[in-house]
C-alpha cells in the first residue's frame, strides 16, 4: 500500500496572495473554480465574521522533484506547489483581495480595498490551514483529491476525469477545441458538463435507443482508461456536424439541448446502420428542416408512461421529458423516419455488404481480360492476375459511398494503390 507523508501548517491570507502564482492547478484531476458569486460572498463574509477559512491541500514541488519527473517538470516551470484541494477557496480569497467582488459589512457593500484599515489588516493576518504532501505521486494526488474534497460535491464527470487514464487525457485535450463551436456548451465547462455530453455521444453510439445513465457512462469510461478504444474520427465528425447543425436554427437553450440530444440519437442510429454521409450540406439542411417540422407538428403519439398508463404526447413534449425507456424508444423511432428520408434523397448511404468473392479466379480473369492485362491506376502490366500479393480487386465507387458489389464497379489494380485509395472515389 502506498503511504504518502504530509505536514500541517498555516499561511496568512497575505502569504497566500504572494504564493498564489506559484501554485499549479492540474486539470487532469483538480476541478476548475466554479463557485457562484453568492458562494464567494458567503465564504468571505463568514471569514470576516470569525469563521475558520478552512484548509488548502497542496503538494510540495521541491520536496517531490528529486524522485519524480512530473514534479521535476513543474519545478523547471518555477512552480513551488501543486494544488490538490481548495482551489475554489484560494481563488475566492485572491479575487476578493483583487477587488473583483464586494461583501456586505455593516449594511454596506464594500470591496477589499474599501475595508477599514484595521479590518483589512486583520483579514490579511488570518491563518489558512495548509496540508502539505512531501512524498507523493501525481496519481496519489488524484486519489487524495477524490478522498479529501471538502467543497461543493464533485459531479460524476469530475470524478471520472480525475481517474488518470487515456480517455481522461483525450477529453481534456478535445473539449477546449470544440467548446466554442457548439452552442449548448458552457464556456467555463462547469462541473465538466461539456465532457459529459461528449461522453454521451459515445454511449449513444453504442445503444441509441437505451436511456443513458451513470452506470453506462462509468462502464464506457473505465473500458477506455488503459487503452483508448473509441472511434476518435467518428466522434470528431459528430462534434463538427453538431456544431454546424445547431447554427441552422434559432431556439431557446432548452430547445437547443433537445435538438442536440436528437442529433446524437440520429448519429447513434446511423452508426448502428453503418451509414456514410454522401452530401454533408444536404444532410444537415434536410435534417434541420425535418426535425423542425416534427417539433412543430400537432400529432400526438401513444406512449406508455412511467406509471404504466397510456399517454398521448406530441414530439415537442416528448423531448422535454427525461429519456426513460418508452419515451426514448418512440423518440428514436420517429427520428429513424428522418434517417429513412435521408436515404431516399441519397444524402446518406449504408455500406453495402460484400457478397462477391474478390479472390474468385474467374472474376479476376474476367477483369484481366476487360483491362487487357493492364492496371488502370498505375498502367503496369499485370503478369499474374491470381497473385493477391501484387494485385487486388478494387471497387471503383467504394461500397461505403454506395457503390455496387458488381463486376461493372470493379477493377484489378496494384495492391499498394488500392490500400492508399481506401474509401475515396
- Domain enclosing residue 377, as ranges: 361-421
Choose one of 325, 350, 375: the last residue of a domain: 350
What is the reported pLDDT for 1? 44
Query: Digits of tens for pLDDT over the chain (425 positions)?
Result: 457 788 889 999 999 999 999 999 887 777 777 788 888 998 999 999 888 888 899 999 999 998 889 999 999 999 999 998 888 899 999 999 999 999 998 899 999 999 999 999 999 999 999 999 998 988 888 888 877 654 456 788 888 887 778 898 899 889 999 999 998 998 888 888 999 999 999 999 888 888 888 888 999 998 888 888 898 888 999 999 999 999 886 665 557 888 999 999 999 999 888 888 888 899 999 999 999 899 889 999 988 877 888 888 899 888 877 767 788 888 899 999 999 999 888 888 875 555 667 778 888 999 999 999 999 999 999 998 888 888 989 888 877 666 777 888 899 999 888 877 655 55
Burial class (CB in 10 A: 0-12, 13-18, 19+), 354: exposed
Domain boundary among 128, 152, 176: 152
- The alpha-carbon radius of gyration of the chain (Å, integer) is 30
Q: Same structural domain for residues 131 and 228?
A: no
Measured in degrees and rounded to the nearest 5, phi and psi for residue 144 equal -65, -40
293 and 223: one domain? yes
Does 159 map to a domain? no
What are the tens digits of pLDDT across the range 138-179?
A: 888 888 887 765 445 678 888 888 777 889 889 988 999 999
Residue 202 is predicted with a pLDDT of 93
Same domain, 92 and 202: no
Is residue 144 domain-shared with residue 228, that is, in the same domain? no
* Torsion angle of C-alpha atoms 361, 362, 363, 367, degrees rounded to 10: 100
Residue 415, pLDDT score = 87
End-to-end Cα spacing for the chain: 57
Report the number of distinct structural domains present in the chain. 3
Distance between CA 414 and CA 403 in Å, rounded? Answer: 20
Residues 40/101, Cβ–Cβ less than 8 Å? yes
Question: Residue 78 CB: number of other CB atoms within 10 A?
Answer: 10
- Residue ending a domain, choose from 350, 379, 396: 350
Do both 143 and 222 map to the same domain?
no
Q: Are 332 and 340 in contact (CB under 8 A)?
A: no
Considering the domain boundaries, does residue 210 fall inside one?
yes
Quote the CA–CA distance of 203 and 198 in Å, as a whole number: 9
pTM over 0.75: no
Asked if the structure places residue 308 within a domain, the reply is: yes
135 and 203 share one domain: no
Q: How many whole angstroms from its chain centre is CA 5?
A: 35
In a domain, residue 99? The reply is yes
| Structural domain includes residue 292 | yes
The answer to whether residues 40 and 109 belong to one domain is yes
- Regarding whether 68 and 217 lie in a shared domain, the answer is no
Distance (Å) of CA 86 to CA 11, 191, 339, 403: 13, 15, 49, 59
Instruction: Kindly state whether residues 147 and 172 are assigned to the same domain.
Output: no
Q: Is residue 161 one of the residues assigned to a domain?
A: no
Shared domain check, 241 and 194 = yes
**Residue 218 included in any domain:** yes
Of 423, 418, 422, 338, whose CA–CA distance to 380 is shortest? 418
- Has residue 377 been placed in a domain? yes
368 and 337 share a domain? no
Specify whether 118 is located in the same domain as 242: no
pLDDT tens digits, 212-254: 888 889 999 988 888 888 988 889 999 999 999 998 866 655 5
Q: What is the 3-state secondary structure of 61-74?
A: HHHHHCCCHHHHHH
Q: Print the SS3 string covering the chain.
A: CCCCEEEEEEEEHHHHHHHHHHEECCCCCCCCCCCCHHHHHHHHHHHHCCCCCCEEEEEEHHHHHCCCHHHHHHHHCCCCEEEEECHHHHHHHHHHHCCCCCEEECCEEECHHHCCHHHHHHHHHCEEEEEEEEECCHHHHHHHHHHHCCCCCCCHHHHHHHCCCHHHHHHHHHHHHHHHHCCCCCCCCHHHHHHHHHHHHHHHHHCCCCCCCHHHHHHHHHHCCCCCCCCHHHHHHHHHHHHHHHCCCCCCHHHHHHHHHHHHHHHHHHHHCCEEECCHHHHHHHHHHHHHHHHHCCCEEEEECCCCCEEEEEHHHHCCCCCCHHHHHHHHHHHHHHHHHHHHCCCEEECCCCCCCCCCHHHHHHHHHHCCCECCCCCCECCCCCCCCCEEEEECCCHHHCCCCCHHHEEEEEHHHHHHHCCCC
Amino acid at each position: 500500500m502506498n503511504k504518502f507523508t504530509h505536514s500541517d501548517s498555516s499561511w496568512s491570507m497575505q502569504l497566500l496572495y504572494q504564493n498564489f502564482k506559484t501554485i499549479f492547478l492540474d486539470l487532469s484531476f483538480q476541478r476548475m473554480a466554479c463557485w457562484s458569486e453568492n458562494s464567494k460572498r458567503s465564504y468571505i463574509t463568514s471569514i470576516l465574521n470569525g469563521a475558520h477559512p478552512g484548509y488548502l491541500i497542496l503538494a510540495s514541488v521541491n520536496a517531490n522533484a528529486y524522485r519524480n519527473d512530473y514534479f521535476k517538470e513543474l519545478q523547471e516551470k518555477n512552480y513551488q506547489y501543486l494544488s490538490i484541494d481548495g482551489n475554489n477557496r484560494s481563488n475566492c480569497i485572491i479575487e476578493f483581495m483583487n477587488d473583483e467582488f464586494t461583501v456586505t459589512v455593516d449594511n454596506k457593500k464594500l470591496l477589499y480595498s474599501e475595508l477599514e484599515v484595521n479590518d483589512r489588516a486583520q483579514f490579511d493576518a488570518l491563518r489558512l490551514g495548509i496540508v502539505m504532501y512531501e512524498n507523493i505521486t501525481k496519481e496519489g494526488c488524484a486519489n487524495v483529491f477524490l478522498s479529501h474534497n471538502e467543497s461543493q460535491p464533485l459531479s460524476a464527470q469530475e470524478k471520472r476525469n480525475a481517474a488518470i487514464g487515456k480517455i481522461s487525457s483525450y477529453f481534456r485535450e478535445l473539449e477546449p477545441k470544440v467548446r466554442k463551436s457548439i452552442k449548448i456548451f458552457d464556456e467555463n465547462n462547469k462541473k465538466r458538463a461539456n465532457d459529459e455530453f461528449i461522453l454521451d455521444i459515445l454511449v449513444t453510439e453504442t445503444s441509441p435507443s437505451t436511456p443513458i445513465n451513470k452506470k453506462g457512462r462509468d462502464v464506457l469510461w473505465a473500458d477506455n482508461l488503459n487503452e483508448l478504444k473509441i472511434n476518435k474520427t467518428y466522434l470528431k465528425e459528430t462534434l463538427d456536424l453538431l456544431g454546424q447543425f445547431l447554427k441552422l436554427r434559432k431556439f431557446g437553450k432548452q430547445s437547443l439541448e433537445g435538438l442536440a440530444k436528437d442529433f446524437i440519437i440520429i448519429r447513434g442510429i446511423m452508426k448502428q446502420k453503418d451509414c456514410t454521409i454522401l452530401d454533408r450540406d444536404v444532410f444537415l439542411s434536410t435534417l434541420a428542416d425535418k426535425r423542425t417540422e416534427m417539433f412543430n407538428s400537432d400529432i400526438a403519439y401513444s406512449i406508455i408512461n412511467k406509471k404504466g398508463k397510456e399517454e398521448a404526447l406530441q414530439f415537442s413534449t416528448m423531448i422535454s421529458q427525461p429519456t426513460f425507456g418508452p419515451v426514448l424508444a418512440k423518440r428514436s423511432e420517429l427520428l429513424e423516419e428522418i434517417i429513412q428520408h435521408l436515404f431516399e434523397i441519397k444524402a446518406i448511404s449504408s455500406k453495402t455488404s460484400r457478397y462477391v468473392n474478390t479472390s474468385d479466379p474467374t472474376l479476376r480473369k474476367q477483369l484481366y481480360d476487360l483491362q487487357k492485362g493492364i492496371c488502370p491506376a498505375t498502367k503496369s502490366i499485370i503478369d499474374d492476375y491470381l497473385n493477391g500479393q501484387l494485385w487486388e480487386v478494387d471497387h471503383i465507387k467504394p461500397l461505403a459511398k454506395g457503390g455496387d458489389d458488381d463486376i461493372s464497379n470493379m477493377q484489378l489494380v496494384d495492391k499498394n494503390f488500392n490500400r492508399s485509395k481506401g474509401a475515396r472515389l
